[in-house]
Structure 1
Amino acid sequence: MTLSVVVGLGRSGIGAARLLKALGSEVLILEKAENDACRQKAADLRQQGIDVQLGQPLEISSFEPWLNQINQVVISPGISWTHPTLEALRTHGVPVRGEMALAWESLRESPWIGITGTNGKTTVTHLLHHVLSHGGLKAPMAGNVGYSAAELALGCLEGSTPVPDWVVMEMSSYQIEAATKVAPRIGIWTTLTPDHLERHGSLDAYRAIKRGLLERSQLAILNRDDPEIRGTHSSWGQKRVSWVSTGREYSDTATARLRVSDDGWVYEGKQRLFCSDALAMPGAHNQQNMLLVTAAALEAGLRPETIESALRCFDGVPHRLESLGTIQGIAVFNDSKATNYDAAAVGLQSVPNPAVLLAGGQTKQGNAEVWLQLLKERSSAVVLFGAGADELRGLIEASAFPGAVVTHQGLDDAVPHALELARQQQAASLLLSPACASFDQYSDFEARGNHFRELIEASQST
Structure 2
Amino acid sequence: MREELKGRLAGTAAAVVGAGRSGQGAALLLRALGANVRLLEAKAENVSADFAARATAEGIEIMTGPHLPEYFEGMDMVVLSPGVQAGKIRALFPIDAAPEVISELELSGRYAKGRVLAITGTNGKTTTTALCAHVLRHMGLRVFEGGNIGTPLADHVLSGDEADALVLEVSSFQAQNCTTFRPEVAVLLNLSVDHQDFHADMEEYLQAKLNLFARMEDEDLAVLPAEMRDDLESRHFTRARLHFFEATDRFECDRLPGAHNQANMEAAFQALTRFGVTERDMREALDTFVQHPHRLERVGETRGVLFINDSKATTVASLKAALEAFDRPILLLAGGKYKGGDLEALAPLLKRRVRAVCLFGDSREVFEKAWTGIVPLGWEPNMQRAVEWLMERAEQGDVMLLSPATASYDLYNNYKERGEDLRRIFRELS
Q: What is the TM-score normalised by the length of structure 2?
A: 0.90
Which residue of 2 is the match for residue 417 of structure 1? 389
Which residue of 2 is the match for residue 4 of structure 1? 14
Q: Which amino acid aligns with 2:296?
A: L
Tell me how far 1:369 sits from its aligned partner: 2.9
Which residue of 1 is the match for residue 102 of structure 2? 97
Q: Distance in 2 between matches of 1:323 and 1:36?
A: 32
Which residue of 2 is the match for residue 222 of structure 1? 224
Residue 111 of structure 2 aligns to a residue in which SS?
helix
Q: Which amino acid aligns with 2:98?
A: G
Tell me how far 1:351 sits from its aligned partner: 2.0
Question: Which whole-Å deviations, capped at 9, do the CAs of 1:422-444 have from their partners, x for residues lacking one?
Answer: 2xx44520100001111122222
Q: Distance in 1 between matches of 2:261 and 2:155?
A: 29
Residue 151 (structure 1) aligned with residue 152 (structure 2):
no
Q: Distance in 2 between matches of 1:235 and 1:382?
A: 41
Tell me how far 1:378 sits from its aligned partner: 0.9
**Quick check: 2:344–2:371 contact (8 Å CA) kept in 1?**
no
Q: Which amino acid aligns with 2:108?
A: A
Q: Which amino acid aligns with 1:418?
A: L
Which residue of 1 is the match for residue 290 of structure 2? 315
Residue 130 of structure 1 aligns to a residue in which SS?
helix
Residue 210 (structure 1) aligned with residue 212 (structure 2):
no
Q: Distance in 1 between matches of 2:183 and 2:427?
A: 41
Which residue of 2 is the match for residue 57 of structure 1? 66
Question: Which whole-Å deviations, capped at 9, do the CAs of 1:163-199 have from their partners, x for residues lacking one?
Answer: 1111111111111011132110000010011222232
Q: Which amino acid aligns with 1:324?
A: V
Q: Which amino acid aligns with 1:105?
A: R
Tell me how far 1:229 sits from its aligned partner: 4.6
1:13-28, aligned counterparts within 5 Å? 13-28=23-38
Q: Which amino acid aligns with 2:427?
A: E
1:279–1:235 distance in 2 versus 1, CA, 3 Å: farther
Tell me how far 1:387 sits from its aligned partner: 1.4
Gaps of 5+ in 1: 157-161, 247-259, 267-275
Which residue of 1 is the match for residue 319 of structure 2? 344
**Quick check: 1:144–1:171 contact (8 Å CA) kept in 2?**
yes
Which residue of 1 is the match for residue 186 of structure 2? 187
Which residue of 2 is the match for residue 106 of structure 1? 111
**Quick check: 2:331–2:390 contact (8 Å CA) kept in 1?**
yes
Which residue of 2 is the match for residue 254 of structure 1? none
Tell me how far 1:40 sits from its aligned partner: 4.6
- Name the Cα RMSD after superposition: 2.1
1:132–1:230 distance in 2 versus 1, CA, 3 Å: farther
Identity value in percent: 33
Q: Distance in 1 between matches of 2:94 and 2:163?
A: 34
Q: Distance in 1 between matches of 2:159 and 2:347?
A: 45
**Quick check: 1:342–1:371 contact (8 Å CA) kept in 2?**
no
Q: Distance in 2 between matches of 1:13 and 1:280?
A: 33
Tell me how far 1:228 sits from its aligned partner: 3.1
Which residue of 2 is the match for residue 273 of structure 1? none
From 363, 374, 378, the counterpart of 2:338: 363
Which residue of 2 is the match for residue 245 of structure 1? 246
More off after superposition, 409-418 vs 340-349? 409-418
Q: Which amino acid aligns with 1:221?
A: V
**Quick check: 2:79–2:103 contact (8 Å CA) kept in 1?**
yes
1:291–1:238 distance in 2 versus 1, CA, 3 Å: same
1:350–1:388 distance in 2 versus 1, CA, 3 Å: same
- Give the count of matched residue pairs: 415
Q: Distance in 1 between matches of 2:55 and 2:295?
A: 34
Residue 196 (structure 1) aligned with residue 171 (structure 2):
no
Q: Distance in 2 between matches of 1:11 and 1:435?
A: 24
Which residue of 1 is the match for residue 5 of structure 2? none
Gaps of 5+ in 2: 1-10
Q: Distance in 2 between matches of 1:316 and 1:144?
A: 17
Which residue of 2 is the match for residue 431 of structure 1? 401
Residue 89 of structure 1 aligns to a residue in which SS?
coil
1:310–1:279 distance in 2 versus 1, CA, 3 Å: farther
**Quick check: 2:19–2:41 contact (8 Å CA) kept in 1?**
yes
Which residue of 2 is the match for residue 72 of structure 1? 77
1:300–1:452 distance in 2 versus 1, CA, 3 Å: same
Which residue of 1 is the match for residue 146 of structure 2? 142
Which residue of 1 is the match for residue 379 of structure 2? 407
Q: Distance in 1 between matches of 2:173 and 2:317?
A: 19
Q: What is the TM-score normalised by the length of structure 1?
A: 0.84
Q: Distance in 1 between matches of 2:46 and 2:204?
A: 39
**Quick check: 1:352–1:429 contact (8 Å CA) kept in 2?**
no
**Quick check: 1:2–1:71 contact (8 Å CA) kept in 2?**
yes
**Quick check: 2:13–2:76 contact (8 Å CA) kept in 1?**
yes
Q: Which amino acid aligns with 1:414?
A: A
